[in-house]
Structure 1
Amino acid sequence: MKAALLAKPLSFAHVEQIAQQFDMPDLTLPFWGYRKKMPMHNIVRLEGEGNYTVFHFADGSRLMVSLTLKKMESRLSPKVFVRLHKKNIINLLYLEGVHPENSFPGRPQLSVSLVNGDRVEVSRRKASRFIKQVKGFQQEVVQQKTEAIANVLAA
């Protein structure tokens, strides 16, 4: 597995365009006494902290919500969000690279780097599924680009 698995990272404008094509709705998050809608495509990753989830957004801000990561996972788009580990879910729109690491001889470990500079380990049990999801996501993005170009040419 090489970091070359991925094409170059997407720009923020491109992220918004692709997010529209994946039909990513806003995510309603509970706060003290009220609820707030957040655009799902602005979430770079989610990190579990016990019964709380920390959201890491594209603008660098963070937000803690009193819901578990498992509960949040069920509300996210499965085409774009991938659970790497028991504590982390990432948005594939912000994936910069996949990196093999040989921490233990004969037991390779994967990690991913995100556009915001975060680096997250991939659980060995989830690694093969993660790679399949990344390849499927890339094929979907390429297919959508091809269809968009065909629509422009047909017009």
Structure 2
Amino acid sequence: MKVTLLAKPLTNVYVEQIAGQFDMPDLTLPFWGSRKKMPMHRIVRLEGEGNYTVFHFADGSQLMVSLTLKKMESRLSPKVFVRPHKKSIINLLYLESIHPDKQQLSVSMVNGDRVEVSRRKASRFIKQVKGFQQELMILDSKPTAPVVLVA
């Protein structure tokens, strides 16, 4: 059984608007001896691999950094990023559906990735998703200021 969460499709413009509401600044990540700024709202999910973290971005690109998932978790916005499993962190803006099963709960991301939810974290994860949905509904009901582009 598949449970769809968001009624409307996710657009880049919508994600850009929401990013401003959820306080999602750019992340500065160590990359090949230098530092690289990455927009936090474009991160779909993070995957831990030992002392490294693989970032999966909305455009399909990936970036591996030499920081643990635990260190990365403290740098991310807790309203939008949740940790459903010890090896992954997901961005709720890109969550497409939840797949409840008797043995294992999992989620599908907009980019097609499927992430397992650990049994220990399942109830907390569902509460976080419901809280996030309520915040989205509140944000959708508020009128937004028009975006003015200056040339």
Aligned equivalents of 1:111, 1:50: Cα separation in 2: 22
Query: What residue ranges of structure 1 are gaps of 5+ in the alignment?
Result: 104-108
Indicate whether 1:142 and 2:137 are aligned: yes
AA partner of residue 11 (structure 2) = S
Correspondence for 1:129 among 124, 127, 148:
124
Contact 2:95 2:110 in 1 (8 A): yes
Give runs of ≥4 in structure 1 deviating > 2 Å.
Answer: 4-9
AA partner of residue 22 (structure 1) = F
Aligned equivalents of 1:29, 1:38: Cα separation in 2: 7
Query: What residue ranges of structure 2 are gaps of 5+ in the alignment?
Result: 147-151
Contact 1:15 1:93 in 2 (8 A): yes
Deviation, structure 1 residue 46: 0.1
What SS does the corresponding residue of 1:148 show, helix, strand or coil?
A: coil
Aligned equivalents of 2:134, 2:10: Cα separation in 1: 15
Partner of 1:118: 113
Indicate whether 1:10 and 2:38 are aligned: no
Deviation, structure 1 residue 36: 1.1
Contact 1:6 1:98 in 2 (8 A): no
Indicate whether 1:41 and 2:36 are aligned: no
AA partner of residue 142 (structure 1) = M
TM-score under structure 1 length normalisation: 0.88
AA partner of residue 75 (structure 2) = R
What SS does the corresponding residue of 2:70 show, helix, strand or coil?
A: helix
1:97 to 1:8, Cα distance in 2 relative to 1, 3 A = farther
Aligned equivalents of 2:105, 2:17: Cα separation in 1: 29
TM-score under structure 2 length normalisation: 0.90
Deviation, structure 1 residue 147: 1.5
Partner of 2:94: 94
Deviation, structure 1 residue 9: 4.1
Deviation, structure 1 residue 5: 4.3
Deviation, structure 1 residue 7: 2.9
Indicate whether 1:51 and 2:46 are aligned: no
Partner of 2:60: 60
Paired residues, number: 146
Identity across aligned pairs (percent)? Answer: 80
Contact 1:9 1:94 in 2 (8 A): no
Partner of 1:30: 30
Aligned equivalents of 2:38, 2:62: Cα separation in 1: 12
